[in-house]
Structures are given as C-alpha cells and as structure tokens.
Amino acid sequence: MIFEYEFMQNAFAASGLVGLVAGIVGYFLVLRRQAFAGHALSHVGFAGATGAALIGWNPLLGMVAVTLLASSWMGMLAEKLEDADVVTAAVLSLSLGLGMLFLHFYSGFASTASTLLFGNVLAVDRPTLYLLACMAALCLGAMACIARPLIFASLQPEVAEARGVNLRQLSVLFLGVVAICTTQCTQIVGVLLVFTLLVGPAATVQQMTLPVARGAVLSALLAIAEAWGGLILAFYTDWPTSFWITVLSSAAYLAARLVCRRSFIKAPHVH
C-alpha cells in the first residue's frame, strides 16, 4: 500500500498543505495579474537558499528570509499594479545573478541545487513538514485578515484608494504571503516549476465565471488534487513527481479552456 511508507505519508501531508495555500494565494495572484511576481520570487528564493547553504545555514530558512525581503522591496517600489512587472523584472535579474554567483563559490552544492530547481517532495521529513504547517497557518491567517480589502483593491484599485485603502501597504502584505507560499511550493515542485501549483489551478478556475470565494476554494481543491494525483502516479510509474503534477495541471487548464471556449461559442445561439 502507498501509505505504508513514512516518506509517502510525509509527502501527502506536505503536498496537501502546500496545495491548499498555493490554490488560495495563487487565485488572488492571478486575479491581480501578478503571476510574474510569483515566478520572480521563486528565483529570489533560489538565491537565498544557495546563499544560506554557502554559509552553512538552513536553505529553507534562507529562502524565506530573502523572499520576504524581496517581496517588501517589490511592494514598496511598485506604485500601481501596472508598474509591478518592471520592478519584478529588476528583482528577478538581480536574484538570478546572485544565485549563479553563490553556485560558483560552492560547487559541492550540485545535488541540493537540483532539488531546489526541480523539487523533491519525497525527501520531506517530519521537521520540514512541521515547518511547512506553520508557514501554511501563517499564510492562511494573513489571507483571512486582508481578503476583503485585497478583493476590493484588485477589482477596483482607484475606488479602493479613494475609500482609504492603502494600496502600497496592502501590496507589501500580499507579496509577503506570496513569498512564503512560493517557498513552500519549491519544496514540492522546485523553483523552475513553481507555476504548476501557484498559477496553474488558479488560471484553470478563472476560466469559469465564479464568485471570488468559491473560485478560491475550488482553486485550492484543484491544487491539492493535482499534487496528490502526481504523487500517486509517481509512486506507480517511478517517474518524477514534479513531472506528473505539471502534466495534471496543464491538462486541467487546457480542458477548462476548451470547455469554456465551446460554451462561449455556443451561447449566442441559445434562445
């Protein structure tokens, strides 16, 4: 049985936690059209993890610290959502350069670097699982606190600002949550495939016309299903878990696109 092994129990628990948070946070990330920010923060985290390993620290904690710092910088510098891509690109370029520099000085980091780039959920141990649970609780608690103003600012930023919503402060807080969520995702699918859980399920759900709350919940359920489905397929095929999660995420998105487009085309003919 698949659950006879402790490493599989840890993997299912970890991927479930990460899928829950990534689905909800990713939904708002796509809603705000800041998917590029999630991609950039994953590469920032890679620089933080390699730098931490270089000086003998825990790579996961180094990733959290640096992504939080970068998210604060990105949130403070971007006056409006329209400015975010330029600031994000600058942060991304710097982080990639630093990551390459740290790898240059620590050539013995190859195996850990591969894990960071492509993920290895089967290597999650109990201490890491507990840390992921704490991070998940922090993210969900923060999202519960900022959800209402975040929806308002995402859909009608000018009106929200006129009503007294501090857009810059809200952006910093939200990107801080994204930073922690991105760090979690890299433990499952790695830096290069972080879009698989953070953006894929959210983009799939947003092909449908759903209320925000229902869409966020469905995005979380879809992310969990893709993560667990990838683990099951990896167990029985001996292919990488990250590959299967990516396949399931892409298939779900393409199916949603086809179904919604067909419905849109047929709708005008319905009387």
For residue 265, pLDDT over 50 is answered with no
**Which has more confidence, 3 or 57?**
3
pTM for the complete prediction?
0.85
State residue 230's pLDDT score: 94
Confidence of residue 8 (pLDDT cuts 50, 70, 90): very high
Neighbours of 111 (CB within 10 A): 9
Domains of the chain: 2-269 (1.10.3470.10)
For residue 269, pLDDT over 50 is answered with no
* DSSP per position, 222-250: HHHHHHHHHHHHHHHH---HHHHHHHHHH
DSSP annotation of 80 = S
State residue 190's pLDDT score: 81
State residue 80's pLDDT score: 53
State residue 253's pLDDT score: 94
State residue 113's pLDDT score: 63
For residue 204, pLDDT over 90 is answered with yes
State residue 271's pLDDT score: 40
Poorest-pLDDT segment among 41-45, 196-200, 239-243: 41-45
For residue 258, pLDDT over 60 is answered with yes
Which pair of tokens denotes residue 120? 């290895």
CB 247 within 8 A of CB 237: no
Distance of CA 147 to the CA centre of its chain: 17
CB 11 within 8 A of CB 121: yes
Nearest one of 21, 17, 18, 27 to 201, comparing CA atoms: 27
Work out the angle at residue 248's Cα, subtended by the Cα atoms of residues 246 and 250, and round it to the nearest 5 degrees.
65
How far apart are alpha carbons 240 and 180 in whole angstroms? 24
For the stretch 68-104, pLDDT in tens is 888 887 777 655 555 566 667 777 777 777 777 777 7
For the stretch 141-190, pLDDT in tens is 999 999 999 999 988 888 888 888 888 888 889 999 999 999 888 888 88
Report the length, in residues, of the chain: 271
Poorest-pLDDT segment among 62-71, 79-88, 211-220: 79-88
Confidence of residue 111 (pLDDT cuts 50, 70, 90): low
Share of the chain above pLDDT 70, in %: 87
Across 61-65, 116-120, 126-130, which has the greatest mean pLDDT?
126-130
Q: What's the chain's average pLDDT?
A: 84
CB 28 within 8 A of CB 21: no
Alpha helices in the chain (DSSP H): 6-31, 35-54, 59-77, 84-105, 110-118, 126-155, 157-162, 167-188, 195-198, 200-205, 212-237, 241-266
State residue 194's pLDDT score: 84
